[in-house]
């Protein structure tokens, strides 16, 4: 209940601030349009307000979603289903010399049948996770609060955005992990304008911390805790049979980048490059720091928008490279007074690496005039190449796949309302894959091999979305939407559904 109260208070203040005149049908449609993601420079740079699709927007709403997957059609550490209840708000208000923006979110969710991890943010901290062989449903309560502003002075615009994210996750069966996550983000940016050109720089700092406390509440019972190291290996020296276990993950991440944009009367073009580096450490309760995880990344993005066939063509191309390096420290014990053990440093080396490349291209043809009926079409292609290596012992995994999809949607304005909808279909094809792994233990049979089988499965996917808006009062707009999707392989399938009720101010 405390999380709900802490979140609802900024919900009301942020939404009402931007709701002094009421969001129009056109502004709401533009903010939630399919072409908004084709030019998302504002998500990187808080001073890039030129890319925001509407001068004013405010929403407060709630949503519920659920998902379910057949046996073998999911990754063990993510679970075979989920449900989530969410309250969210977002606002943007632009004046002649200054812009204000903010958002807040509360989520209470559950992941079903999560196996072989007792931590949150497994993809960030992998492969050095704490795990047990029992598993169970993972519950979480988390909230996010953030906001920012930008100032325009002559040819310059200065912006800053701040955000705090906190959450608690737990299981109700032994062993019972209690994970407390705290994240602080700061995002400054500068944009310089001259003629039709925009030049922008942005930075981002993130401080991350996760405290893990695991207990076995049933008396006289102990559970074996595995310290995973990747590809079925685990630290046999420090994995143990115990009633409790504690660990702290902490780290800092830095990112910076720049973008160049040309805004003409009939066309707009932009390019962005972003660099990222983060270092995270896993510290044990006895003051050891056995693992260090380094994330290096680069992302490049190209956008182009021009008039075509009485509509607008939106082109978007992206390339990303993400490297994860795992460093491990070995210790040797020194026994004092026959019962107390001190762990002394022995060696340290990089023993794990993953390299992921991703390239995406999309083309969208849509009408930006939301005062009339229109149909839009979009095609997308996504190529992914993932390589993972563990050096000692020498194991590796390689998966390359290609995904293509096509979408069609419509926008229909009515007298006092509007109706929108879309359908999407696509196919993911694995181009090549290989796995070299000679471990023979319970982690191999229950995690590595099942996950590899899922990741190398070809499947088709289908999605739909429907939204209706209507005016409740001169300053309030009701917003209802629903959607869902299906992924289907030969004898397996998974699905998700979502429904949302919201008010635009």
* DSSP string across 400-456: EEEEEEEEEEEEEE-SSEEEEEEEEEEEEEEEEEEEE----SHHIIIIIHHHHHHHT
Say whether 86 sits in a helix, a strand or coil.
strand
pLDDT(341) > 90: no
Give the pLDDT confidence of 149-159 residue by residue, as tens digits.
999 999 999 99
Give the separation between CA 133 and CA 225, rounded to whole angstroms. Answer: 8
Confidence of residue 412 (pLDDT cuts 50, 70, 90): very high
Residue 246: predicted pLDDT: 94
Say whether 12 sits in a helix, a strand or coil.
helix
Confidence of residue 466 (pLDDT cuts 50, 70, 90): very high
Query: How many whole angstroms from its chain centre is CA 166?
Result: 15
The 3-state DSSP composition of the chain as helix, strand, coil percent (nearest 5) reads 10, 65, 25
Which residues are CB-contacts of 494 (< 8 A; sequence separation ≥ 6)? 67, 68, 69, 70, 73, 74, 486, 487
Which residues are CB-contacts of 391 (< 8 A; sequence separation ≥ 6)? 350, 351, 352, 353
What would the mean pLDDT of 269-283 be, rounded to a whole number?
97
Residue 334: predicted pLDDT: 85
Which residues are CB-contacts of 73 (< 8 A; sequence separation ≥ 6)? 80, 454, 457, 487, 489, 492, 493, 494
Confidence of residue 505 (pLDDT cuts 50, 70, 90): confident
CB burial of 42-51 (b: ≥16 within 10 Å; e: otherwise) equals bebbbbbbbb
Residue 336: predicted pLDDT: 80
Confidence of residue 285 (pLDDT cuts 50, 70, 90): confident
Do 320 and 304 meet the contact criterion of CB atoms below 8 Å apart?
Answer: no
Query: How many whole angstroms from its chain centre is CA 482?
Result: 21
Residue 15: predicted pLDDT: 43
What would the mean pLDDT of 267-287 be, rounded to a whole number?
94
Say whether 108 sits in a helix, a strand or coil.
strand
Residue 44: predicted pLDDT: 98
Cis peptide before 175 (omega within 30 of 0): yes
Least confident interval from 17-31, 304-318, 450-464: 17-31
Residue 154: left (phi > 0), alpha (psi -120 to 50), or beta?
left
pLDDT(17) > 80: no
Residue 421: left (phi > 0), alpha (psi -120 to 50), or beta?
beta
* DSSP result, 370-413: TTS-EEEEEEEEEEEEEEEEETTTTEEEEEEEEEEEEEEEEEEE
What would the mean pLDDT of 161-175 be, rounded to a whole number?
96
CB burial of 444-462 (b: ≥16 within 10 Å; e: otherwise) equals bebbbebbbebeebebebe
Do 48 and 41 meet the contact criterion of CB atoms below 8 Å apart?
Answer: yes
Radius of gyration of the chain (CA): 25
Give the separation between CA 82 and CA 453, rounded to whole angstroms. Answer: 21
CB burial of 464-476 (b: ≥16 within 10 Å; e: otherwise) equals ebebbbebeeeee
Confidence of residue 139 (pLDDT cuts 50, 70, 90): very high
Tokens standing for residue 262: 């040309």
What would the mean pLDDT of 256-274 be, rounded to a whole number?
97
Distances (CA, A) of 92 to 57, 66, 95, 446: 5, 29, 10, 47
Give percent of the chain with pLDDT exceeding 70. Answer: 96
**Mean pLDDT of the residues in the chain:** 93
Tokens standing for residue 234: 């685990």
Least confident interval from 205-219, 275-289, 311-325: 275-289
Tokens standing for residue 99: 């812009």
Query: Which position has the token pair 């021009």?
Result: 306
Give the pLDDT confidence of 86-97 residue by residue, as tens digits.
999 999 999 989
Confidence of residue 1 (pLDDT cuts 50, 70, 90): very low
Residue 21: predicted pLDDT: 58
Residue 317: predicted pLDDT: 98
What would the mean pLDDT of 65-77 be, rounded to a whole number?
97
pLDDT(281) > 50: yes
């Amino acid at each position: 209940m405390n999380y709900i109260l802490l979140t609802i208070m900024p919900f009301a203040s942020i939404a009402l601030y931007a709701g002094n005149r009421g969001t129009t049908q056109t502004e709401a449609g533009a903010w939630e349009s399919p072409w908004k993601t084709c030019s998302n420079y504002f998500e990187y740079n808080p001073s890039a307000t030129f890319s925001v699709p509407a001068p004013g927007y405010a929403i407060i709403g709630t949503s519920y979603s659920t998902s379910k997957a057949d046996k073998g059609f999911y990754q063990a550490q993510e679970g075979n289903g989920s449900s989530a209840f969410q309250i969210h708000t977002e606002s943007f208000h632009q004046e002649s010399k200054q812009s204000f923006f903010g958002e807040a979110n509360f989520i209470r969710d559950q992941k079903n049948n999560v196996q072989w991890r007792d931590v949150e943010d497994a993809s960030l901290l992998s492969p050095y996770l704490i795990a047990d062989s029992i598993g169970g449903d993972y519950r979480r309560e988390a909230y996010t609060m953030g906001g920012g502003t930008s100032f325009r002075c002559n040819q310059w615009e200065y912006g800053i955005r701040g955000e705090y994210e906190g959450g608690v996750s737990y299981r109700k069966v032994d062993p019972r992990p209690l994970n407390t996550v705290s994240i602080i983000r700061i995002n400054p940016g500068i944009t310089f304008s001259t003629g039709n050109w925009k030049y922008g720089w942005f930075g981002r700092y993130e401080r991350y911390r996760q405290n893990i406390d695991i207990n076995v509440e049933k008396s006289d019972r102990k559970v074996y805790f595995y310290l995973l190291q990747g590809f079925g290996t685990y630290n046999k020296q420090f994995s143990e049979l115990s009633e409790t276990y504690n660990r702290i993950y902490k780290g800092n991440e830095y990112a910076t980048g720049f973008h160049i944009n040309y805004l003409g009367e009939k066309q707009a073009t932009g390019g962005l490059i972003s660099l990222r580096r983060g270092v995270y450490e896993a510290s044990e309760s006895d003051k050891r720091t056995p693992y260090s995880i380094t994330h290096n990344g680069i992302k490049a993005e190209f956008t182009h928008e021009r008039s075509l066939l009485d509509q607008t063509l939106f082109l978007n191309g992206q390339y990303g490279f993400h490297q994860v390096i795992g460093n491990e420290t070995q210790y040797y014990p020194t026994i004092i007074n026959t019962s107390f053990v001190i762990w002394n440093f022995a060696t340290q080396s990089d023993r794990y690496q993953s390299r992921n490349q991703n390239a995406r291209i999309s083309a969208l043809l849509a009408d930006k005039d939301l005062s009339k009926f229109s149909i839009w079409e979009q095609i997308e292609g996504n190529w992914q190449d993932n390589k993972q290596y563990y050096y000692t012992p020498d194991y590796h995994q390689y998966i390359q796949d290609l995904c293509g999809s096509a979408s069609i949607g419509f926008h229909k304005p009515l007298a006092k309302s509007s109706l929108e909808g879309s359908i999407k279909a696509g196919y993911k094809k694995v181009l090549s894959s290989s796995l070299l792994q000679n471990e023979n233990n319970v982690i191999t049979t229950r995690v590595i091999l099942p996950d590899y089988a899922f990741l190398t499965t070809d499947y088709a996917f289908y999605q739909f979305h429907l939204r209706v808006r209507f005016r409740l009062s001169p300053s309030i707009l009701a917003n209802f939407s629903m959607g869902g999707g299906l992924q289907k392989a030969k004898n397996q399938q998974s699905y998700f559904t979502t429904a949302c009720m919201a008010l635009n101010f």
